[in-house]
C-alpha cells in the first residue's frame, strides 16, 4: 500500500470517457468495506479518505464483534441475527484479528438469573451455526472465579455468554490492504472537495486535493459512494445544498485502565446502567477498557472530546461493579467516538443501528448507520445498489468467504499479550525480519507498551502511515491504551518515520508537537 503509487494511478485516470467504476468517499469501516467488496467483484475502485484510514469512528469502538444483546431487548431480531452471522463470517475470514470472548452478566437480584439466562439462550439460538459458545448460569462461586475483580457484596451468581472481540483499526488497515490486494486504489489525506456533475446533471465523479502537496485531482466515476459516517450530510450537500438531514450524531466514550482492574480473561457486561444503557468492562491488549455512553452531539468533529459527565458516569458505574473502584488518576487513556445514526424519533440510544442506503436525486449513493460487525453485509448491499444505479455488469458478491489480508490458518491464541505481533497475522514474519536486520528496532518504544520500532518502520513502508499519530493511534494502538506512554514514544517514532519518509528535523519537531496536542485530549487530567 504505497501512497505515491496510488496517487500515480489516480493521475493516470482522469479521462471522463474512461471513468472508474466506483469512487468511494470515506476510509472508515463502511467505505473500506465497499472498496473490498467492489474490488473483489472485479470492479475498478478508488477510495479517498480526508485524514487517515480509521481516523473517524472506526478506530473508537468498544472492540466487539457482536450480535448486540441490547438489540435483542429492543426486539430487533433481524439486526441481531444478521450481526451474529457476520460475527461468524468475520472470525472465519480474519482469525488473526477476531477471537471469542466470554462475558459475565452478574446477578445481584433474584430475578436477574432467569431473566438474563433466558435472554442469552435466545441469543445462542439466533446465532445458530455461527454460534461462539453456549451461555449458562453460574453460581456465586463460579462467577467470582471467572471475574475475581467483581464486587462480591450481595452477589447471587451470574450468566456467562460468548461474543467476539477485535482490534478495530488493525482490521481496518487489513481491509484496506485486502482491497489493494484486489486491485483497488486507496489514498489517505485526500478529502473529497467537490462532486463532478455530468451533462445529464447526475454525479459523474469527484474532485480531491492531496493535503500533503496541495495537488488537485479529478476522479471521474460511474458511481460515487458517500461513506463518510457522521459527515454524510456535508458530502450530500456538495451536490444538493438543500438536502435534508439524514444522520444524527451520538457520542460514546471509553476509559482505559491497567489490566489489574479486571484480572482474568472474562469481560463484565452490565445490561442496564442508570441511564438504561449497557456498560462493558473488557480485557483488551493487556489493558481494561470500560464504556460506553450515548450523548447527542450537534456538530461532528474528527477529534471529539469526552465530556466530564461522561467520564464521571463510567467511573461511577464501574465502581458499583468492581471491588477496586477505578479513580480518575487510574485512567490511562480516554477516547471518544461518534455514532452515525439514521435520523428518527426519540432518544439516540433508541435509534436503530440498522444501516441505510440512500440515493439523492443527483445519483449520489450514500451508505450510513450500521455497525462495525455488519460492515461486510452493508458493503454487499451497497455494491448491489451501485451495480443497478451505475449500470455496471452483474458480478456476484465474493466476500462471504474472502480471506482478509494477514489471514493465517487457525492461530492457537490470537491477540495473546505475550505475542503482540499476532494481530499482523501473515505479516508478522516481515516485521520480525525488519527487527532482525536492524536489532535496535526490536526494542520497545516504551517499557509499558509492547510496541517495537520495527512496527513503525513497517507502518511507514507498507501501511501508508504518514504521521506519528497514524503510527501510534491506528497502526499500533499506543494512544488508545496509554496516552502518557504514547506521548513519550512520539519523538522516537517521529525519527523512525522521518528516516523512512525522507523528512527533516523541522518535520520531526512539528510532528511531535502535533501529536502531543492530540495526546493531551486522551488524558483525563488536562492542563
Ligand atoms: C462509542 C462507539 C462504540 C462502538 N462500538 C462498536 C462495537 O463494539 N462493535 C460494532 O460492531 N460497532 C461499534 N460501533 C459502531 C461502529 O464503530 C460504526 O458503525 C462504524 O465505525 C462506522 O464506520 P463508518 O465508516 O461509517 O464511519 P467512520 O469510521 O467515521 O468513517 C468515515 C470516514 O469518512 C471520512 N470523511 C469525512 N468527510 C470526508 C471527505 N469529504 N472526503 C473524504 N473522506 C471523508 C472521515 O475522515 C472518516 O474517516 C461503535 C460506535 C461508537 C461511536
What's the chain's average pLDDT? 94
**Percentage of the chain modeled with pLDDT above 70:** 96
pLDDT of residue 428: 95
Nearest to 171 by CA among 305, 59, 46, 339: 59
| Ligand 1 atom having least distance to the Cα of 29 | 25
% of the chain with per-residue pLDDT over 90: 87
CA-based angle 202:208:213, to the nearest 5? 165
**Cβ(220) – ligand 1 distance below 6 Å:** no
Q: Within 13 Å and on the Cβ side, how many CA atoms surround 379?
A: 31
How many Å apart are CA 21 and CA 115, to the nearest integer?
51
- Mean pLDDT across the stretch 390-397? 97
Number of Cα atoms under 13 Å in the Cβ half of residue 196? 20
344 CA distance to ligand 1 centroid (A)?
A: 19
Residue 205 has pLDDT above 50, yes or no: yes
What is the phi/psi pair of residue 338, to 5°? -115, 125
The pLDDT assigned to 484 comes to 98
pLDDT surpasses 50 at 415: no
56 CA to middle of ligand 1, Å? 5
- DSSP assigned state of 378: H
Residue 72 has pLDDT above 70, yes or no: yes
CA distance 519 to 527: 12
Rg over CA atoms, the chain:
23
pLDDT category at 112 given cuts 50, 70, 90 is confident
Q: How many CA atoms lie within 13 A of 512 on its CB side?
A: 15
| 370 CA from centroid of ligand 1 (Å) | 10
What cell was used for 156? 447471587
Whose CA is closest to 25, among 238, 178, 332, 169?
238
88 lines ligand 1 (CB under 6 A): no
Vertex 161: Cα angle to 158 and 164 (nearest 5): 140
What angle (nearest 5°) sits at the alpha carbon of residue 205, between those of residues 201 and 208? 130
Tell me if 56 CB under 6 Å of ligand 1.
yes
When pLDDT is averaged across residues 176-200 and rounded to a whole number, the result is 97
Peptide bond into 85 cis (omega under 30): no
CB of 446 closer than 6 angstroms to any ligand 1 atom: no
Average pLDDT over residues 329-339: 97
Cα–ligand 1 centroid distance for 323 (angstroms): 34
Q: Is the pLDDT of residue 255 over 90?
A: yes
pLDDT at 409: 76
**Counting atoms of ligand 1 from 1, which one is nearest the CA of 30?**
25
State the distance from the centre of ligand 1 to the C-alpha of 230, rounded, in angstroms: 7
| pTM above threshold 0.75 | yes
- How would residue 523 be classed by pLDDT, with cut points 50, 70 and 90? very high
> What pLDDT does 384 receive?
98
Q: Is 310 in the pocket of ligand 1 (CB under 6 A)?
A: no
Pocket lining: 366 vs ligand 1, CB cutoff 6 Å: no
In the prediction, which pLDDT does 414 show? 47
Ligand 1 center to 88 CA (angstroms):
21
Band (pLDDT 50/70/90 cuts) for residue 527 is very low
Region 299-319: what's the mean pLDDT?
95
pLDDT band at 354 (very low <50, low <70, confident <90, very high): confident
Confidence bin at 155 (pLDDT 50/70/90):
very high
Do 313 and 295 touch, CB atoms closer than 8 A? no
Quick check: 261 and 280 in contact, CB under 8 A? no
Ligand 1 and 300: CB distance under 6 A? no
Local confidence band at 376 (pLDDT 50, 70, 90 cut-offs): very high
Q: 167 CA distance to ligand 1 centroid (A)?
A: 14
Q: How confident is the model at residue 353 (pLDDT cuts 50, 70, 90)?
A: confident
Q: Closest residue (by CA) to atom 4 of ligand 1?
A: 61
In angstroms, rounded to a whole number, what is the distance separating the alpha carbons of residues 453 and 439?
10
Ligand 1 contacts CB of residue 349 (under 6 A): no
Handedness of CA 473, 478, 482, 485 (dihedral sign): negative
> What residue's CA is closest to ligand 1, atom 5?
61
Say if CB 183 and CB 41 are below 8 A apart. no
SS3 228: coil
- State which of 106-110, 408-412, 415-419 shows the largest mean pLDDT: 106-110
CA of 30 to the centre of ligand 1 (A): 7
Q: Is 332 left (phi over 0), alpha (psi -120 to 50) or beta?
A: alpha
CB 232 within 8 A of CB 366: yes
Please enumerate in sequence order all residues whose Cβ is within 8 A of that of 451, keeping only pairs 6 or more positions apart, or say none. Answer: 420, 444, 445, 476, 478, 489
Mean pLDDT of all residues in 399-410: 92
Question: Using 50, 70 and 90 to split pLDDT, how confident is the model at 346?
Answer: low
CA distance 134 to 162: 7
Report whether pLDDT(106) > 90: yes
The C-alpha angle 102, 98, 284, rounded to 5 degrees, equals 60
CB 479 within 8 A of CB 469: yes
Closest Cα partner for 173 from 32, 65, 62? 32
- Mean pLDDT, residues 106-122: 90
Question: In the prediction, which pLDDT does 111 show?
Answer: 87
Which amino acid residue places its CA nearest to atom 50 of ligand 1?
61
| Cα 524 from Cα 255, distance rounded (Å) | 9
Could you give the CA distance from residue 92 to residue 422 in angstroms, rounded to a whole number?
16
| Ligand 1 in reach of 67 Cβ (< 6 A) | no
What CA–CA distance (Å, rounded) separates 187 from 52? 9
Question: Among residues 392, 390, 464, 459, which one has the least CA distance to residue 431?
Answer: 459
| Banded pLDDT at 76 (limits 50, 70, 90) | confident
Listed as own residue / partner, the contacts of 413-417 with beta carbons closer than 8 Å and 24 or more positions apart are: 413/99, 414/95, 414/96, 414/97, 414/98, 414/99, 415/97, 415/99, 415/165, 415/167, 415/285, 417/285, 417/286, 417/450
Q: Are 42 and 395 in contact (CB under 8 A)?
A: yes
- C-beta of 46 in contact with ligand 1 (< 6 A): no
In this structure, are residues 226 and 244 in contact, taking their beta carbons and an 8 Å threshold?
A: no
Q: Locate 176 and state its grid cell.
A: 484496506
41 CA to centre of own chain: 24
Test site for ligand 1: of 23, 28, 377, most ligand atoms within 8 A of the Cβ:
28
Mean pLDDT lowest among 88-102, 274-288, 471-485 = 274-288
CA distance 124 to 152: 27
Give 522 Cα–ligand 1 centroid separation in angstroms: 18
Amino acid at each position: 500500500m504505497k501512497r505515491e503509487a496510488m496517487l500515480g494511478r489516480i493521475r493516470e485516470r482522469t479521462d471522463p470517457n474512461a471513468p472508474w467504476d466506483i469512487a468511494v468517499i470515506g476510509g472508515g469501516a463502511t467505505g473500506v468495506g465497499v472498496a473490498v467488496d467492489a474490488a473483489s467483484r472485479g470492479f475498478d475502485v478508488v477510495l479517498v479518505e480526508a485524514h487517515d484510514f480509521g481516523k473517524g469512528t472506526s478506530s473508537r469502538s468498544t472492540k466487539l464483534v457482536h450480535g448486540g444483546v441490547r438489540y435483542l431487548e429492543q426486539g430487533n431480531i433481524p439486526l441481531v441475527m444478521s450481526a451474529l452471522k457476520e460475527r461468524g463470517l468475520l472470525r472465519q475470514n480474519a482469525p488473526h484479528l477476531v477471537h471469542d470472548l466470554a462475558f459475565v452478566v452478574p446477578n445481584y437480584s433474584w430475578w436477574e438469573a432467569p431473566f438474563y439466562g433466558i435472554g442469552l439462550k435466545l441469543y445462542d439460538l439466533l446465532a445458530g451455526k455461527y454460534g461462539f459458545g453456549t451461555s449458562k448460569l453460574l453460581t456465586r462461586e463460579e462467577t467470582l472465579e471467572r471475574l475475581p475483580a467483581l464486587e462480591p457484596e450481595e452477589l447471587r451468581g451470574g450468566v456467562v455468554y460468548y461474543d467476539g472481540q477485535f482490534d478495530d483499526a488493525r482490521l481496518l488497515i487489513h481491509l484496506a490492504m485486502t482491497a489493494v490486494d484486489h486491485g483497488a486504489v486507496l489514498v489517505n489525506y485526500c478529502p473529497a472537495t467537490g462532486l463532478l456533475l455530468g451533462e445529464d446533471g447526475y454525479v459523474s465523479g469527484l474532485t480531491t486535493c492531496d493535503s500533503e502537496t496541495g495537488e488537485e485531482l479529478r476522479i471521474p466515476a460511474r458511481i460515487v459512494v458517500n461513506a463518510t459516517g457522521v459527515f454524510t450530510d456535508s458530502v450530500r450537500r456538495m451536490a444538493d445544498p438543500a438536502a435534508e438531514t439524514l444522520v444524527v450524531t451520538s457520542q460514546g466514550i471509553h476509559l482505559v485502565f491497567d489490566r489489574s482492574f479486571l484480572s482474568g480473561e472474562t469481560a463484565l457486561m452490565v445490561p442496564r446502567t442508570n441511564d438504561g444503557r449497557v456498560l462493558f468492562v473488557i480485557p483488551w491488549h493487556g489493558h481494561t477498557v470500560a464504556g460506553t455512553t450515548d450523548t447527542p452531539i450537534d456538530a461532528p468533529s474528527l477529534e471529539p472530546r469526552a465530556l466530564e459527565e461522561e467520564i464521571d458516569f463510567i467511573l461511577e458505574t464501574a465502581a458499583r461493579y468492581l471491588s477496586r473502584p477505578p479513580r480518575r488518576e487510574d485512567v490511562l487513556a480516554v477516547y471518544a467516538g461518534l455514532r452515525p445514526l439514521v435520523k428518527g424519533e426519540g432518544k439516540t440510544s433508541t435509534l436503530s443501528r440498522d444501516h441505510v442506503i440512500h440515493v439523492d436525486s443527483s445519483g449520489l449513493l450514500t451508505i450510513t448507520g450500521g455497525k462495525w460487525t455488519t460492515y461486510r453485509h452493508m458493503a454487499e448491499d451497497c455494491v448491489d445498489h451501485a451495480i443497478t444505479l451505475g449500470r455496471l455488469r452483474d458480478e456476484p458478491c465474493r466476500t462471504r468467504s474472502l480471506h482478509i489480508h494477514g489471514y493465517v490458518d487457525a492461530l492457537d491464541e490470537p491477540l495473546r499479550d505475550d505475542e503482540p505481533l499476532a494481530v499482523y497475522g501473515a505479516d508478522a514474519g516481515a516485521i520480525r525480519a525488519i527487527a532482525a536486520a536492524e536489532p535496535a528496532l526490536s526494542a520497545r518504544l516504551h517499557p509499558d507498551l509492547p510496541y517495537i520500532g520495527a512496527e513503525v518502520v513497517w507502518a511507514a513502508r507498507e501501511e501508508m502511515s504518514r504521521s506519528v499519530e497514524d503510527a501510534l493511534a491506528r497502526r499500533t494502538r499506543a494512544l488508545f491504551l496509554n496516552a502518557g506512554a504514547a506521548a513519550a514514544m512520539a519523538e522516537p517514532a517521529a525519527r523512525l518515520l522521518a528516516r523512512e519518509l525522507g523528512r527533516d528535523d523541522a518535520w520531526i519537531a512539528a510532528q511531535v508537537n502535533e501529536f502531543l496536542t492530540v495526546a493531551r485530549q486522551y488524558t483525563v487530567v488536562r492542563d
